[in-house]
């Protein structure tokens, strides 16, 4: 595969952009090699600057539920541009967008638009703190909630100990308010709640974790979490930046039947433009300025171009609820292909899938939390990644990410991917 242009661009980029990229995972650091510079995307395929074509499963890290550049999204964007790019004043589309989200997702009475998932989670936690008058919050090891200081905390020696910053620049003060629990382990939450009585404002969780690879929550675990939050007057926040409109039309609620107090969105609701949102019960959301005292703002929040595209994506989802059956069938086909390959190769690597999010872990045990996920063989994954890439299949360049299936992926795409999976596994094990 000729990647000369990408190589040259990366050399230039590294001189003037930290690490050569504007978001770390793009740099291929955990799999080795140079990142490819992408020129365009059409449906299930992307094309790099050297003219290589790939069937790809990143979908811009989640937004592209319908594949790259679907005509109805492009049309909405072009139409909106005719009226200007931004006004800094309210537009009708913001009302329509809020109505659509509140109609589609139970437990969202009110919603505030922001520009990224990071802003959404950061603002949700601030609102929960303002509402409850409490300061600490619980997050789960292996869950990612964007890069606000107090989310960049990993457990030290155990879930009960106070957080330790994993990123330089995060202060001790910030770390102390972040309590770390084990995913799918309700006792770890109970211990924290007991040790921090009346101090915990919120519990934030990815109801299907996608940022340690795909690790779905157990149903009972989420139910008990809901119960603890009710008993202790803690705000339960589902971070659905990835799972919102991905795992079902109602997000995780659609598959778990557990209602959070607040939800954060991003990715799909922007249809590929920079959008996030946080919402929840009316009495909580009315704390947000200017309705209430919790300050939250954004020069480009509710941007007309982003709203036009997001509204087109969500309208499509509303009008085509069958999209999720289609995605389930497609995703199951790919999963079964991978499973058959492993049978033939006498391997039992874990595959976790929730709807159109899936991860093949290079790990023969059951992966239901962070400790299990990190036991995966990342060196072997790196080899697998490059074998797949050489066969025209572009996966997320990290073991701890999801494969995203879109409605644009065809059976021919999957058959090619399944064959590549077999050959790649055979080459490396
Ligand atoms: C991607 C993601 C975020 C951060 O969103 P950005 O738009 O990258 O800031 C937060 N939470 C979850 C669950 C995510 O997957």
Catalogue all structural domains in the chain, each as residue range(s) with its CATH number. Answer: 4-69+322-428 (3.90.1150.10), 71-319 (3.40.640.10)
Residue 417 pLDDT greater than 70, yes or no: yes
CA distance 93 to 79: 13
The pLDDT of residue 175: 86
Three-class SS state of 137: strand
Sorted by sequence, the CB contacts under 8 Å of residue 343 that are 6+ apart come out as: none
The pLDDT of residue 415: 98
The pLDDT of residue 154: 66
Nearest CA to 221 out of 239, 206, 211, 240 is that of 206
Residue 381 pLDDT greater than 90, yes or no: yes
The pLDDT of residue 86: 97
Mutation test residue for ligand 1: of 267, 354, 396, 402, the one with most atoms within 8 Å of CB:
267
The pLDDT of residue 174: 87
Q: Is 139 in the pocket of ligand 1 (CB under 6 A)?
A: no
Taking residues 50-55, report their average pLDDT: 98
Task: Give the whole-number percent of the chain exceeding pLDDT 70.
Answer: 97
DSSP state of 238: E
Q: How far is CA 379 from CA 212, 255, 311, 375, 428, in A?
A: 16, 34, 41, 11, 10
The pLDDT of residue 261: 98
Residue 153 pLDDT greater than 90, yes or no: no
Active site residues: 144, 239, 267
CA distance 80 to 31: 40
pLDDT tens track for 55-100: 999 999 999 999 999 999 999 999 999 999 999 999 999 999 999 9
Q: How far is CA 350 from CA 225, 256, 335, 395, 402, in A?
A: 26, 22, 11, 17, 13
Q: Strand (E) positions, 128-213?
A: 136-140, 153-154, 164-165, 178-181, 200-205, 208-209
Count the Cβ atoms, other than its own, within 10 Å of residue 49.
16
Q: Is 185 in the pocket of ligand 1 (CB under 6 A)?
A: no
Q: Which of 5-19, 144-158, 267-281 has the lowest average pLDDT? A: 144-158
pLDDT confidence bin for 133, thresholds 50/70/90: very high
Residue 235 pLDDT greater than 50, yes or no: yes
Count the Cβ atoms, other than its own, within 10 Å of residue 155.
23
DSSP state of 163: P
CA distance 65 to 81: 23
Q: Are strands 164-165 and 153-154 parallel, antiparallel or unpaired?
A: antiparallel
Mutation test residue for ligand 1: of 117, 265, 271, the one with most atoms within 8 Å of CB:
117
Helix, strand, coil percent values for the chain (each to nearest 5): 40, 20, 40
Average pLDDT value over all residues in the chain: 95
The pLDDT of residue 169: 85
Residues in the chain: 429
Nearest CA to ligand 1 atom 10: 145
Residue 314 pLDDT greater than 80, yes or no: yes
Find the helix packing angle between 304-319 and 71-81, rounded to 10°.
Answer: 150
Nearest CA to 272 out of 25, 48, 57, 73 is that of 73
Q: Is 335 in the pocket of ligand 1 (CB under 6 A)?
A: no
Taking residues 391-397, report their average pLDDT: 97
Nearest CA to 371 out of 147, 151, 158, 144 is that of 158
> Cα of 221 to ligand 1 centre, how many Å?
23
pLDDT tens track for 182-206: 999 999 999 999 999 999 999 999 9
The pLDDT of residue 163: 46
Task: Give the whole-number percent of the chain exceeding pLDDT 90.
Answer: 92
Q: Is 401 in the pocket of ligand 1 (CB under 6 A)?
A: no
pTM value is 0.96
The pLDDT of residue 159: 30
Q: Are 133 and 150 in contact (CB under 8 A)?
A: no
The pLDDT of residue 155: 38
Q: Is 140 in the pocket of ligand 1 (CB under 6 A)?
A: no
Sorted by sequence, the CB contacts under 8 Å of residue 354 that are 6+ apart come out as: 208, 214, 216, 243, 247, 255
pLDDT tens track for 109-129: 999 999 999 999 999 999 999
- Which atom of ligand 1 is least distant from the CA of 239? 13
């Amino acid at each position: 595969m000729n990647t000369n242009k990408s190589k040259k661009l990366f050399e230039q980029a590294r001189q003037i952009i930290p690490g050569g990229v504007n978001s770390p995972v793009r740099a291929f650091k955990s799999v080795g090699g140079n990142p490819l510079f992408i020129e365009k995307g059409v449906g299930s395929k992307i094309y790099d600057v050297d003219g290589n074509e790939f069937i790809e499963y990143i979908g811009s890290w989640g937004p592209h539920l319908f594949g790259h550049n679907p005509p109805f999204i492009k049309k909405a964007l072009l139409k909106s541009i005719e009226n200007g790019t931004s006004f800094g004043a309210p537009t009708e589309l913001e009302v329509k967008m809020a109505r659509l989200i509140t109609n589609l997702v139970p437990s969202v009475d009110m919603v505030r638009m922001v520009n990224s998932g990071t802003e959404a989670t950061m603002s949700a936690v601030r609102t929960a703190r303002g509402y409850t008058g409490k300061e600490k919050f619980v997050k789960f090891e292996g869950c990612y909630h964007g890069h606000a200081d107090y989310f960049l905390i990993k457990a030290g020696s155990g879930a009960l100990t106070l957080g330790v910053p994993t990123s330089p620049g995060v202060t001790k003060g910030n770390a102390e308010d972040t309590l770390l629990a084990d995913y799918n382990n309700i006792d770890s939450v109970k211990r924290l709640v007991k040790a921090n009585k009346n101090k915990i404002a919120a519990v934030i969780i990815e109801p299907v974790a996608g940022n340690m690879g795909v690790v779905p929550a157990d149903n009972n675990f989420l139910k008990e979490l809901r119960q603890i939050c009710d008993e202790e007057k803690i705000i339960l926040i589902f971070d659905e930046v990835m799972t919102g409109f991905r795992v079902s039309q109602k997000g995780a609620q659609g598959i778990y039947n557990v209602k959070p107090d607040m939800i954060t969105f991003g990715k799909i609701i922007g249809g590929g433009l920079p959008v996030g949102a946080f919402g929840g019960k009316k009495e909580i959301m009315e704390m947000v300025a200017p309705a209430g005292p919790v300050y939250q703002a954004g020069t480009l929040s509710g941007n007309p171009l982003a709203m036009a595209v997001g509204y087109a994506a969500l309208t499509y989802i509303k009008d085509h609820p069958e999209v999720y059956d289609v995605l389930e069938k497609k995703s199951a086909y790919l999963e079964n292909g991978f499973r058959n390959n492993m049978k033939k190769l006498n391997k039992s690597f874990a595959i976790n899938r929730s709807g159109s999010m899936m991860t093949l872990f290079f790990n023969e045990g059951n992966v239901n939390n962070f400790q299990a996920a990190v036991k995966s063989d990342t060196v072997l994954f790196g080899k697998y990644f490059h074998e797949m890439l050489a066969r025209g299949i572009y996966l997320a360049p990290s073991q701890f990410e999801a494969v995203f299936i879109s409605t644009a992926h065809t059976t021919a795409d999957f058959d090619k991917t399944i064959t590549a999976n077999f050959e790649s596994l055979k080459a490396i094990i």
